[in-house]
């Protein structure tokens, strides 16, 4: 489950960047700014967004890992001092999952010979997490920052190569639309939804947001 959540988080982080930067660009364009001013605003927003996303991801992951470490340390003490109680607790959880099978007791008899193995089993059945699925806060921070910056490129790069606001907006909108559609398709790897409907859902949300952002920018520009 954590693997699914990680995939969804990365997809939505990228989608947030693409939507955020495009909406900002359209809002600035609606305010009658030049292409250079639009580029400056987009770059500033990209950097600020990447820092914000990275900091939030680091703190959230670090807090989650700290809580898990404390729970595992407590579980280790319980296994050391209250072995039979922990065995009964783990057995009860396993029975809820697979039923009251003879294999449950055979497994526990074997696992109880190794306290670390018992701790790993307890972590899975009690916390729903295996060691291989745990996340590094630093890695999560870097992935989030890179994802956001990468997601900002379709809306930012066009204004690097043109001084025409119209051309920049057109290229940025098309590039961002394609990127959002791809993210919608990739998101279906973690869901049972149709890839086509998921892709167009992303496009529809972005289109509505873009229209609103441009209208607000145009209104404020007057």
Of 3, 8, 5, 15, give the one whose Cα is nearest residue 188: 8
Q: How confident is the model over 125-135, as a mean pLDDT? A: 71
- Range picked from 14-18, 94-98, 132-136, 176-180 for highest mean pLDDT: 94-98
pLDDT (tens digit per residue) in 36-69: 998 998 899 888 888 988 898 899 889 988 888 8
Predicted confidence (pLDDT) at residue 181 exceeds the cutoff of 70? yes
Predicted confidence (pLDDT) at residue 1 exceeds the cutoff of 80? no
- Cα radius of gyration (the chain): 24
- pLDDT confidence bin for 221, thresholds 50/70/90: low
Question: pLDDT: is 17 or 158 the higher one?
Answer: 158
d(CA 129, CA 108): 19
Given a contact cutoff of 8 angstroms between Cβ atoms, the answer to whether 57 and 138 are in contact is no
pLDDT at 2: 45
pLDDT at 220: 62
pLDDT (tens digit per residue) in 144-165: 888 888 888 888 999 999 989 8
d(CA 11, CA 33): 31
pLDDT at 4: 43
- pLDDT confidence bin for 218, thresholds 50/70/90: low
Cα angle 173, 156, 27; round to 5: 60
Domain ranges, ordered by start, for the chain = 2-53+137-221, 74-133
Predicted confidence (pLDDT) at residue 143 exceeds the cutoff of 50? yes
Question: pLDDT: is 125 or 17 the higher one?
Answer: 125
pLDDT at 192: 64
């Amino acid at each position: 489950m954590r693997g699914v959540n990680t995939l969804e988080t990365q997809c939505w982080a990228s989608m947030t960047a693409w939507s955020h930067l495009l909406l900002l660009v359209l809002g600035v364009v609606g305010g009658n700014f030049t292409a250079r001013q639009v580029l400056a605003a987009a770059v500033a927003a990209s950097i600020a967004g990447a820092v914000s996303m990275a900091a939030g991801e680091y703190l959230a992951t670090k807090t989650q890992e700290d809580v898990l470490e404390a729970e595992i340390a407590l579980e280790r003490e319980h296994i050391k001092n209250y072995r039979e109680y922990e065995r009964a607790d783990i057995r009860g959880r396993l029975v809820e999952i697979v039923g009251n099978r003879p294999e449950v007791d055979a497994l526990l008899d074997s696992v109880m010979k190794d306290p670390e193995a018992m701790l790993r089993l307890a972590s899975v059945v009690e916390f729903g997490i295996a060691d291989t699925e745990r996340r590094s806060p630093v890695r999560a921070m870097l992935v989030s920052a890179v994802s956001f910056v990468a997601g900002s490129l379709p809306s930012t790069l066009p204004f690097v190569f043109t001084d025409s606001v119209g051309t920049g907006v057109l290229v940025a909108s098309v590039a961002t639309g394609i990127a959002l559609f791809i993210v919608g398709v990739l998101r279906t790897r973690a869901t049972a939804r149709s890839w086509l409907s998921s892709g167009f859902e992303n496009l529809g949300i972005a289109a509505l947001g873009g229209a609103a952002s441009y209208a607000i920018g145009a209104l404020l520009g007057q």
